[in-house]
Amino acid sequence: MACCCTFTNTVDQQFTSKKAGQELERFRRKGAGPTTRLLLAGIAQAGIGDGTLLDVGAGVGALTFELLDRGVRRAVIVEASAGYTAAASNERSDPSRARHRHRLRQWRFPRGRGNRADGQCCGARSCGVLLSAL
């Protein structure tokens, strides 16, 4: 059985702070990348432009920040990578994002808890906490 600790350690090895920093700098210089632009176009075409956003696997938060700029009222970023969580937090702290701070929450997978007795990953229990915070 895999443990959440193993999962988050693996994620942190794949999605490093260095990689997150590079992606954040690219987003700041050039704006949203091609995949994010496609998602934004699809969301606009579907007529979804306000409400609450739950961005799971948010990375540096590019989609979230773009949607906040376009009228989403509140957003929750969920990210397993410590490096990407830090990068999104860094972007949130940027003075140009000040208007979004009160509307954005971040949630990081818990670390160091191991498996539950029923064999499910500890993250399953934490998901209820996240959803109740919306």
pLDDT digit string (tens) for 76-116?
Answer: 888 888 899 889 888 888 888 878 777 777 766 665 544 44
Structure tokens at 12: 């942190």
CATH code for position 86: 3.40.50.150
**What's the confidence (pLDDT) of residue 109?**
60
Question: What are the phi and psi torsion angles at 87 (to 5°)?
Answer: -65, -45
Assessment of whether the complete model's pTM goes beyond 0.85: no
- How many domains is the chain partitioned into structurally? 1
Per-residue pLDDT of 32-57, as tens digits, reads: 999 999 999 999 999 887 888 899 98
CA dihedral 131, 89, 99, 126 (to 10 degrees): 10
Per-residue pLDDT of 21-33, as tens digits, reads: 999 999 999 999 9
Residue numbers of the domain that contains 112: 4-133
* Strand positions, DSSP E, 6-82: 52-56, 74-79
Please tell me which residue, 121 or 53, carries the higher pLDDT value.
53
Secondary structure (H, E, C), 39-55: HHHHHHHCCCCCCEEEE
Nearest CA among 82, 81, 65, 1 for reference residue 28: 65
65 within 8 A of 91, measured Cβ to Cβ: yes
